[in-house]
Structure 1
């Protein structure tokens, strides 16, 4: 249900931002003359440029949804949160002879993270005391308990009653409403019910916000980010975890490119090389790199060599196919024109084939870098002593969700930076892309 709400809100924000941007920046949406239009062609990313206003609104929307679904202190609109405070409910106990008596239970719902706080003297926070209540008359006695938000409490109402459950006392109604074992009653403060054995239960209302265990607030994640850079985790700081992951990716990718591009050129230029390597490439290409992890561990162990070899294989096939596609896509008319001008085979290779194949190679490089980045994190989940993947999998064992989210954000930011950097490098080195 929450997932559908998030999707609906994001779609609404998408169309809303379009309408707002269209009204504010009308000139960006005005139709230009035919001489200003550009036909979208395959491989020409300059045909469509990103609307930066939409990009900013998209990021802000995602951040707002993050805040709205958590118990964040950031002053932004939020969805209804969990119930906190005192609530009461009345239960009706019945004896074997049919005698009934009512008693009231006061539930004090407190913040689930209160025990993680410290007071002015540095002592850890404690679970708040139950509310003070009078026992009342009759064999059923009033009671008070505490329960954390997002928690669940089995209320043993017989612990201070004059007649226990063993003596034949049963609960037949809650808040005056008849109830049987296994049934539940919804109230504004949460859900009341009976277990299969007839013991009352209470689960506070959670609203649409998520507990810190499942989704920490942005400020909590930021504090953990600072802490990871200062104190570190598993013996390494966040920067060290990131550096190890990055150097593995770069080394594996460079080796894959150095081997893959020449093989791809050979496959695109000679029938013998195409016939020799094509079965191997087409056989290995569909195999996910992660499927090779057990074999890599057996051959090379869990050290750095094994991870680099895995990343090398992840990038190799992509770079081979990209280089082969780039060579095969060179227009034959350009080769004939060069021959007619007296160019040698080496000149055709260096002046015609290589420049025209570089766009495909860079596209493959971008894909390979993304695959390598995802592969190294997954490889570190299986076998590593340091790295972002290792940090995430270790934190998951102790339910440290804030560390997991920090790792995910760092992985995403670095992946985005790699993509932007590769695009910028491509635009700088291949200014003729889409123009010739």
Structure 2
């Protein structure tokens, strides 16, 4: 796989209420980009992202899963997060790796409680957001009502960037408001440009987008008030700034299972979503003994190498896999990096990227990218690896405390160490799972 420059990387997490179609939307994104030839089904257990046996058995996501696509020369890293609040630790970990959250919303139910929780998390972290109103092909679909529920939750910054054509079971396409074009879609999800239906007031909807963009930039606002128009270049540059500043939340309409409307969303992600190079520096400590965040790294290949492990996967026949975000520098296999929190040096072996269970070796990654490392000896979730000549320790992930406690004991004497080892592996994979041994009960 080719190396992608930092400015050509987009890191996106799908997170919202359970049952809104996140995993199916991932399938549609993979299908639209040519990674897979057909959209899998959660019910049939053949999706790319829900590949763990527990997920297939339950019929829902449990763990973070990682995919990537190329769209118009941009690498879009896709992180699929569980919808059930039982697995909120996965979502919180995912926030440390992404620069945009995509929230699928049901066209029938609108914003639900799980989506509201995600909205609180991303608001606290000032992460930009897109919405995808899914299931517009279902009976009782109501895009206008779903859009209003989004605006009720997020304010009038949520603006429709596409609307459905023949909403409901007869859904046939979408109108792209930004480009003022309409598309129909065949059974394979291939789009064809058509005339904009008379029922869609595209000029008025387009004007709403332009007004929101202008309001986010004083220079653009002054020009817009004088001429009542902006050029395509000014709209795109202003939109990038507005998305990054969370002054606008694009809302798209479509159907993931029929791959309708997904193309428009991917185009805007590639064109206007934040790249790591657009972000401020990441603060850290120069040593594990220092309390203050006294140093920083920019998302740049010109800075000393540093990465943050935000997730640990435990897989049979492979062992533990450290999933990381490369904060700075360029990473290649075979280098030595310091774990400053443990004063331990790791020799990196294989460098991998993933599409679900499928892993691919890569020769290098640039700052901002997401990758995987195997067979690390002493590095787990929350650890930093960095160039030993320029130490930095990034803040650990703050997970919520557990809500349920349970006491267990070995069925046979002498197996305490085996049980403790198993519990330790569970904690490495899910840091919200905690355990301790009560010496008074021995």
Task: Give the TM-score normalised by the residue count of structure 2.
Answer: 0.23
Higher Rg of the two aligned structures: 1
Structure that is richer in helix per residue: 1
